[in-house]
Every structure is written in C-alpha cells, then in structure tokens.
Structure 1
Amino acid sequence: MAESTFIYVTYIRTTPDALWTALTDTDFIPQWWMGVRTETDWRVGGPWKLVLTDGRVADTGEVLEFEPPKRLALKWRNEFMPEAAAEGWSHCLFELEPQGEAVKLTVTHSMPREKSKLIQAVSGGWPQILSNLKTLIETGSALVAQRTAEAAQA
C-alpha cells in the first residue's frame, strides 16, 4: 500500500528524561506547541486530543505506545481541515535516543495513502513546533510563544 510519510530529526541538548517530560507534561506542552494543549492521561489505549487556543479540537486519537523515555506512538486524525479529516487515521511516532550530551528526537508522521493532505500540512507544522521545543529546552524561551487559531489552520 502506498504511504505518505514525513520524518523530522533533531538533536536537543538535554537528557532523555527531560525531553520525555517536555513531550508528555500537559502543562508544559503549550509552551512549545504555541499555546495548543493536549488532553490525555498518557495510557496505552487511552484517548488523546489537541485543543487550539480558541477551544476548538484540532486533532484526536489514541495512545498506541508509551515507553518512557524512549517511544511514544499516537493514532492521529485531524479534526479541523475537512480534506485532511476525510483521509482518516494517521500514525505519529516519537523516538528518543541518547547521543552523548544530547538526545536524538525522531518524529515520523505517516498516512496509509499517497499524496496525503494531512502529511503535507504536518510537514510544514512539525519543523516549526519541534524547533520551538528545541529552543525552549536549550534556552528557556520559545521562538514563538503562541500561534493564533488562523495560523494553526495554515
């Protein structure tokens, strides 16, 4: 089956435990995800969703894997872009690997279809979001503090 995949790799000067906390602490996530918040209890099989700053649900899904501080996998469906929502479920995997004084973070977002609108959208979003995460962890302040609801749709 044809698939659309976006892979982003970055190295963050931190520890695996600190990066894991940044990725899963629902109070910390809005600092690097530009105000977007998560609602989940981080248990395998549990629901997961992203909520925009104006209260609309952006994405929903399920926690598929939760292996601190190594792997987090999410079943993921966009809820606010009609073309992407119509594509159905995607898969997003976060992998953390210690690399000396840093952690290699690999995010792989895939959709089991060619030319996915969702993967096209996240290929523009993930670099900004993950650069924000890296900068926040390494310097203490994010590149972009909050993204407007209109920008989140772009």
Structure 2
Amino acid sequence: MANETLRTIEGRSVLRMERRLRHSAEKVWRALTEPEQLGRWFPASVNLQPRIGSTVEYLMDGEPAGGGEVLEFDPPRVFAITWNGEVLRWELLPADGGCLLVMSHTFDDRFGAASFASGWTLCLDGMEMVLDGKSIDVEPDTGSLHDRFVELLGLNQGSAEQTPDGWSVRFERQLTRPAEVVWSHLPSEGTVIERSEPKVLDYELSGGGRVRWELTQGTGHGARLILTQSGLSSPDEALTTWRHRLDELAADLLSTPPAQRNDGPSEGGAADTR
C-alpha cells in the first residue's frame, strides 16, 4: 500500500489511491472502459455506452445492483462514473515504462473507507493480472488488509464533545467480523443499564460515567461499532485509552476465522468493495 489518502471535500469523503502500471495508457484505458475487461476485475458487471451522460447499469450475480451515469469520458486520460450516488474516477498520467493510475472514490460513509480501500486494492491487483494476460488469482482479505487501512487512514481516532453533563467521547469503527462474533469479545464491567444481544451493551462505571457499545450493520467486512463514553471531566485520557482498547479488540477479532465471503477478484468476478 502506498499513496492512499482520505479527505473530506464538500462534505463527502474522497478516497484517493495510486497505482503505477507497466502498461500504456491506451491498454489500461481499455481495461477500465470495455465492459468485457472491466467485468473481470471490477466489483460488478457493467453495461455502459462510451459517452458522457449515458446510463450505467450494474449487475452482481446476474441481479441488478444499482445504476449511475458516465460523468467524464476523455480517452485515454479520464473516466468517471457514478454508482448509486457515489463517484468513481480514474485518471491516467504519463510515467516511465507505463502510466500512473490515479483512482478516487467519493462517498458518504467515512468509516467504510477501509473496506473500500482494501476492496479496491484487491480489484486493482486483479486488473494488473488482466493487463498482464494472466488468470486472476487474488487471495481474499481476511481482515488484516482492512485493519491496516483503518490505521493508515486515521479511522481509529475518536472525537470529543462537551455537553452540560461533562465531556463525551465517541468512536465509530468498521470491524471485520459479524456482530455475533464481536459480542463475545465485549467487556463485562460496570452496572448494566441495557443489554440487547448482539446489538447494545450499556453500563455505568463504578467510578462514574457511562459507556455504550452499539453494533450495527456495516460494510461487507462485518459489524459497525459505535462506542461512546459520557460523563467525563476531560476527554483526553478516554480518547487514548479507548483507541488502544479498540485496536486490541480488532486484533483479537483477526484471530477469529471470518465467515465465507468474496473479498477478492476471481475469474469472471471481482471484489465487493461495497
């Protein structure tokens, strides 16, 4: 992994990734825009016409998977399409021995960025194999690639807010295992106020303050965790402590075998980054 960034532009998250390729821009362009080639490494089969404003249709396992339109089509330099309101853009720049592919993905779910980044990494690996004339053979991500992107993109950082009842800290994190698995790793501490397995664990701490764990639907990797602690006199220690604890939780989850899923490209199909 290199040169991956996550920014907020006009209120939306923009993931940017670079890949240096040993092929001409013209060849890479065909892999990006010709539906037969695109469908070999992209997360879905794609039907489109090569012109700005044309409709894009997506299919996964033969079933409709949303739609979009062509926003930019400037061969062999820029190709941009929408998918269910998200924007995918590829730019090809000159580079010694080939070209530089710059990909950006614009979306609303900031905390899904690690799932998107790990999925696109495997998809781009698959695209390189297509360009090299090889059969696609990419190992699915069991969670380690995803969690490396959580760290790299700063998605393990919490936020703090001052309220009339003191400071509150909040963490939102995409995990790599389903809620049922995550639930068994949650701590048993304090006086329980609410317990709804495997969705909510809310308790008061003996020293004061309240902690709430919520497990909701996440991206393709697993459950989305939202953790809050309220009633704090200062947020600093809690932000540091919970970041370390959630990093440890994520590492523990990696030792749990993942449920079967398709996170990597295969011949005739690609990773589900969504």
Give TM-score scaled by structure 2 length.
Answer: 0.45
- Alpha-carbon distance in 2 for matches of 1:122, 1:70: 23
Choose from 73, 87, 92 the match for 1:66. Answer: 73
Query: Which residue in the other structure is 1:23 paired with?
Result: 32
Counterpart of 2:118? 124
Quick check: 2:78–2:92 contact (8 Å CA) kept in 1? yes
Cα deviation, residue 139, structure 1: 4.6
Q: Where in structure 1 do 4 or more consecutive aligned residues deviate above 4 Å?
A: none
Is the 8 Å Cα contact of residues 41 and 269 (structure 2) preserved in structure 1?
Answer: no
Structure 2 partner of 1:51: 59
Query: What code does the residue aligned with 2:40 have?
Result: Q
| 1:104 aligned onto 2:104 | no
In structure 1, the partner of 2:132 is 138
Name the SS for the 1:20 alignment partner: helix
- 1:16 Cα offset (Å): 0.6
- The alignment status of 1:115 with 2:123, answered yes or no, reads no
List per-residue Cα deviations over 1:76-135 (Å, max 9, x = no partner): 21xxxxxxxxxxx12211000121211111110012x46264x45422321111110012
In structure 2, stretches of 5+ residues that fail to align are: 1-9, 138-265
Q: Secondary structure at the match of 1:152?
A: coil
**1:56-92 alpha-carbon deviations (Å, 9 max, x no partner):** 1224111011000000111221xxxxxxxxxxx1221
Q: Highest relative contact order (Cα 8 Å, sep 6+), 1 or 2?
A: 1
CA distance in 2, matches of 1:92, 1:30: 15
Aligned with residue 11 of structure 1, among 3, 6, 20: 20
- Secondary structure of 2:73's counterpart equals strand
**In the comparison of the two structures, how many residue pairs are matched?**
137
User: Is 2:157 aligned against 1:37?
Assistant: no
Q: Kindly indicate whether the alpha-carbon contact (under 8 Å) linking 1:93 and 1:108 is maintained by their aligned counterparts in 2.
A: yes
- Deviations 1:26-64 (Å, cap 9, x if unpaired)? 122222237x32111121000012211x21122411101
Distance 2:78 2:70 in 1: 11
Whole-Å separation in 2 of the counterparts to 1:152 and 1:2:
25
Q: 2:57 & 2:97 partners in 1: Cα distance?
A: 32
5+ long unaligned stretches in structure 1 = 78-88
Larger Rg: 2
* Cα drift, residue 146 of structure 1: 4.2
Distance 1:59 1:105, change over 3 A: farther
| Cα distance change of structure 1 residues 123 and 11 upon mapping to structure 2, 3 Å threshold | same
Structure 1 residues 140 and 68: CA distance shift in structure 2, 3 A: same
CA RMSD across the alignment? 2.3
